[in-house]
Amino acid sequence: MADSSENFALALAKRLRAKESTIGVVGLGYVGLPICLAAVHSGLNVIGFDIDPMKPQFIGKGESYLQHIPGKSVKAAVETGRFSATNDFTRLSEPDAILVCVPTPLDAHLEPDLSFIEMTCEAIAKQLRRGQLIVLESTTYPGTTAEVMVPILEKSGLVCDKDFTVAFSPEREDPGNMNFSTSTIPKVVGADTAEALEAAVALYGNFIGTVVPVTSARVAEAVKLTENIFRSVNIALVNELKVIFSAMNIDVWEVIDAAKTKPFGFMPFYPGPGLGGHCIPIDPFYLSWKAREFGVVTRFIELAGEINANMPRHVIDILALALDKSFRKGLNGSKILVLGVAYKKNVDDMRESPALRLIDLLEARGSIVEFYDPFVPVIPHTREHANLTGRKSVPWSATIGNGYDAVLIATDHDIVDYAALVESSALVVDSRNACRKAGVNSPKVTLA
């Protein structure tokens, strides 16, 4: 029985550094599965937990269900005998440290939906034992660890920092990025006691090259929001510049490429058809919501969100104008191929993909829409676009553009043959500058 945080937390840190502990990871998606694999590779014992029964089944067979994670990596981890997965949450008492990697979406009113965190903590509380470390990785507003997670865990009858302890470490996964992996991306870790922080640093130090400790969970929570708000605001800036420069007949991509030759004081961001992914379209609103509690108005953040949210409509307007100029034809009745429905190139990740919004907008204006995506053969169920569930990609062919009034490039996958696409198409509206990046220059292409 632990008498103090120093006794159990520091003892846990020692066991973690010696790789004598088991860790649990709740949520085996884009964040949780890579953490499991990195931890197993470092020599730790790992139990993965997920409410989706299919994920443990895939893992048990040594197979991957994420396109950017090779099946051989999962198989190798399972074959060590140190990695297993389950949807039996009664086993949450087994790990010495539990990492919570569950979604934190927004509700219909753009307010935080912490239901996944709350349900996970309720499940942990039922099995919580003395000496465990619980780390929240889900992106959220400052104060969530102390104000939401701890009270639920204490329903167990155990007391935080006396019987168990907590920390926050924001995920920094970037699916499809070949330059960085879970182990090579520095990991921020924050906790509200020195002992808890030491345990959390010891945990991540096993499989992360650089661990960055900060003085509290709130600081760590704020770090993640700052990173994503930085991107959101800068993307909004270049999206607005795109609209301004387009009206002046200036190519924003050429401007950015020239500006980034300056070796200091400039960082390139690129416009697009709208924001996608779980982080950038959502996380800034977590801080906006929390700021209202303190009487602070987040004008900059909300303006950036408004600009980025309007980009899909802007792209559709450019497409409509291009059809009118080229063929004197409107969107109503036009047959449109949307190229790419993943939220970013070279992955199958559909979270918050702007392509789904583009399809909805086109169909609302009477267009007949199909899509091609080499990474997404079928559109999965999404909360915002349930009507598109089950739509299937058309097959690729060298004449894929034939039969369509226009092709709208929403995602710039590298493996697409853009020369063949443009050659076979009557009109290509390119929201990613994909054609020119591929060396394809044609009067058929309109930038959007």
Instruction: Supply 262's token pair.
Output: 């300056």
CA distances from 447 to 72, 182, 199, 325 (A): 40, 35, 51, 14
How many other β-carbons are positioned within 10 Å of the β-carbon of residue 186?
11
Backbone angles phi, psi at 414, to 5 degrees: -70, -30
Q: Which candidate, 2, 4, 3, 10, places its Cα nearest to that of 199?
A: 10
CA distances from 280 to 26, 106, 136, 286, 305 (A): 22, 12, 19, 11, 9
Kindly report each contact of residues 296-305 with a partner whose C-beta sits within 8 Å and lies 24 or more positions away, as own/partner: 300/233, 301/229, 301/232, 301/233, 303/236, 304/229, 304/232, 304/233, 304/235, 304/236, 304/237, 305/232, 305/236, 305/281
Q: Strand, helix or coil at 35?
A: helix
Q: How far is C-alpha 278 from the chain's CA centre?
A: 4
Q: Strand, helix or coil at 437?
A: helix
* Per-position DSSP letters for 255-307, written without gaps between them: HHHHHTTSSSS-------SS--SSSTTTHHHHHHHHHHHTT---HHHHHHHHH
From 36, 121, 279, 435, the catalytic residue: 279
Please indicate whether residue 160 is annotated as part of the active site.
Answer: no
- What gap in Å lies between CA 144 and CA 117, rounded to an integer? 9
- What gap in Å lies between CA 64 and CA 73, rounded to an integer? 8
Q: Let me know: does 215 contact 31? Beta carbons within 8 Å.
A: no
> What residues act catalytically?
279
